[in-house]
Amino acid sequence: MSKAVVAIVAATLLVACSGPSAIHAARSTTPTAWPSSQTPAAQESAPPLEASYERVIKQALPSIVQITTDEVLGSGIVYDSAGHILTNAHVVGGAKQMTVTLATGSKSHSARLVKSFGGGDLAVIKVDDPKGLTPARFGDSSKLRVGQVVLAMGNPLGLSGSVTQGIVSALGRTVTEPQDPDSPGATITGAIQTSAAINPGNSGGGLIDLSGQVIGIPTLAATDPDLGGGAAPGIGFAIPSNTAKDIATQIIRNGKVTNSHRAALGIRGTTAIEDGQAAGVAVVKVDKGSAAAKAGIKPGDVIISLNGRETLSMATLAEALSTLQPGKQAKVGVVRLNGSTTTITVTLGVLPGD
């Protein structure tokens, strides 16, 4: 995760924009190799659950890599034998070149960015020489169950090859990162909430089930302002593997995301402030040919609702849009420059793949 601290909004948690926030990645430190496996005798005598952990770690950890740019350190997952690696867009940031090191400890590989999809906080990079890389096995995240045991694998605080254990705490969360230089401002739909510890540097790694399959991409860890911004124990969020696979496949095949499956208005905006409070989304720019342009939304308008749901900030507007489908109609509440209020029917477009 990037070094910045960014706010998240979990719709089903009913928290405000000033509520819990997410920790992104720490700066690069010297990677530490994963220790050697236990002896066969120790494995044979281990309890069944412990033996399952050992087996899964042995299978999955070779597919987890450390990604280091000039700015930050994060994690990634080997996607295929061609050397493509899946990670978070905020791990890559603006870097075009980076260094990849296996979590199990080996020589470093130089890599380049293939494409980032900031809207979904995903990116694909490719190593120059894929020799020695082990592709991960990806599972079907639609089959996840609350209570299922999972392991988070990555490089928290630069400690290469770290593993934490937890459960799937909830499914279908919506979390939103505010946009800043270190975060693409993504809204993640259908996020997996997990109690497995996710710390700075874990972003882009793997959330692994006990069959050894990747079922999520750890992306955000919650913090509690009431604790002085400290970590809120046992609350982390991962992008579902089905979403990650879809985006990665599009990038590898087409060099970009051709269908994000996400609704969009096609505006650039900022949160409007009135009397010190968020009062809506001030439209700064309307993209040519976009859904908003076709419906008559203009720069200077302030969007205050979507289908009757208040959208008093960019985060809440993005969250509301994430629940809708491209091609569907939506009612957008707008305050015009002259102070009049109107409702505009918009046929939603598709969030572009950057």
Q: Which residues are catalytic?
A: 90, 121, 203
Residue owning tokens 């926030």: 21
Q: What is the largest CA-CA distance in the chain?
A: 78
List, in order, residues 6 or more apart from 234 with CB less than 8 Å away: 166, 169, 195, 197
Side chain identity at residue 200, one-letter code: P
Between CA 21 and CA 33 the distance in angstroms is 30
Please report the beta strands in 146-289, taking only residues with DSSP state E, as ranges in sequence order: 149-154, 162-176, 187-194, 206-209, 214-224, 230-240, 263-264, 267-274, 277-286
Cα-based distances in Å from 49 to 57, 149, 184, 328: 12, 10, 39, 47
Q: Say whether 158 sits in a helix, a strand or coil.
A: helix
Side chain identity at residue 216, one-letter code: G
Between CA 293 and CA 285 the distance in angstroms is 10
Between CA 250 and CA 252 the distance in angstroms is 6
Between CA 281 and CA 251 the distance in angstroms is 31
